[in-house]
């Protein structure tokens, strides 16, 4: 298994543009998590899914953020419109066993 | 909600010195806790979980219910231990479990 795959690795965009981050979890894992990492706030849980169903999106900062998981092998995190303060590394992780998360390599987002 | 505190943002030690990365939790019951590590330019990965009572890369972590702590320890630090370390308790929400991380401690091992 290639692990959790995220794309793109890097994204540079201008303020106001729509950004879509993608994640392919490990096959067979039933939970998927989206995290955001910044120097100031560390690792923040944005949203997580269990069996493709969103369970807790209380970490999603604003209505500009949305996440979907249309099937067990794909999830997206969308920011529309993007703002400079959204600049961060966004991680996706999947899990089969409680607490045992496998992380992707992250997407470095820069909003100018 | 289960919460953890990692009081140190940065811990700098010399190679060969003992390391203790602090993690305190603030909830009752029998917590389950994990340590995750992120080496430079690598993915965040599970280092160890307390219920397994294992030693990974020379690190151990003992749950101290009296002090409500789960400190990560290693007797002799190595350069390759330099990384960001996160303490994390899972929170069961009924249908699934989510993992929220502490603010992390950066360990810097110098010669």
A106: nearest CA partner in chain B: B43
Which residues contact residue B76 at a Cβ distance below 8 angstroms, ignoring those fewer than 6 apart? B16, B17, B18, B58
**Cβ of A45 and B104 within 8 Å?**
no
CA-to-CA distance for B7 and B36, rounded, in angstroms?
16
Query: Following DSSP, what letter does each residue of B12-78 receive, concatenated?
Result: EEETTS-EEE--EE---S----EEEEE-TTS--EEEEEGGGT--BTTBEE--BTTTTB--EEESS--
Beta bridge partners of A89: A37, A108
CA distance A74 to B44: 20
pLDDT band at A34 (very low <50, low <70, confident <90, very high): very high
pLDDT of residue B27: 67
- Determine the Cα–Cα distance for residues A99 and B49; give it in Å rounded to an integer: 8
Between residues 34 and 73 of chain B, which touch chain A (CB distance below 8 Å)? Answer: 34, 36, 43-46, 49
Q: A72-99 pLDDT, tens per residue?
A: 999 999 999 999 999 999 999 999 888 8
> Quick one: pLDDT at residue B81?
97
Chain A positions in Cβ-Cβ contact with residue B32 (cut-off 8 Å): 98-99
Mean pLDDT calculated for residue range A17-22: 98
Residue A1: its pLDDT value, please? 64
Chain A residues within 8 A of B86 when measuring between CB atoms: 42-43
Question: Does the pLDDT at position B49 exceed 60?
Answer: yes
Q: Would the CB atoms of A42 and B101 count as touching at under 8 Å?
A: yes
Are the C-beta atoms of B87 and B72 separated by less than 8 Å? yes
Q: Is B105 in the A-facing interface, judged by CB distances under 8 Å?
A: no
Q: Which member of B32, B93, B95 has the closest CB to residue A99?
A: B32
pLDDT beyond 60 at B94 = no
In whole angstroms, give the CA distance from residue B87 to residue B71. Answer: 9
3-state secondary structure (DSSP) of residue B97: strand
N-terminal to C-terminal alpha carbon distance within chain B: 40
Report the residue of chain B nearest A47, measured CA to CA: B98
């Amino acid at each position: 298994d290639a692990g959790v795959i995220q794309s793109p690795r890097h994204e540079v965009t201008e303020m106001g543009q729509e950004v879509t981050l993608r994640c392919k979890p490990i096959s067979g894992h039933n939970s998927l998590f989206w995290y955001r990492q910044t120097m100031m706030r560390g690792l923040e849980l944005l949203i997580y899914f269990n069996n493709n169903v969103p369970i807790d999106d209380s970490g999603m900062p604003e209505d500009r953020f949305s996440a979907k998981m249309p099937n067990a092998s794909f999830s997206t995190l969308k920011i529309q419109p993007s703002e400079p303060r959204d600049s961060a590394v966004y991680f996706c992780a999947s899990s089969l066993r409680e607490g045992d998360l496998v992380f992707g390599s992250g997407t470095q987002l820069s909003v100018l | 909600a289960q919460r953890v505190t990692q009081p140190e943002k940065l811990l700098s030690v010399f190679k060969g010195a003992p390391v203790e990365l602090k993690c305190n939790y603030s909830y009752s019951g029998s917590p389950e806790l994990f340590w995750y590590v992120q080496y430079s330019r690598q993915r965040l990965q599970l280092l160890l979980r307390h219920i397994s009572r294992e030693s990974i890369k020379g690190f151990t972590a003992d749950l101290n219910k009296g002090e409500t702590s789960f400190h990560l320890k290693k007797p002799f630090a190595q350069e390759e231990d330099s990384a960001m370390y996160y303490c994390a308790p899972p929170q069961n929400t009924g249908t699934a479990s989510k993992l929220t991380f502490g603010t992390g401690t950066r360990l810097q091992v110098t010669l």
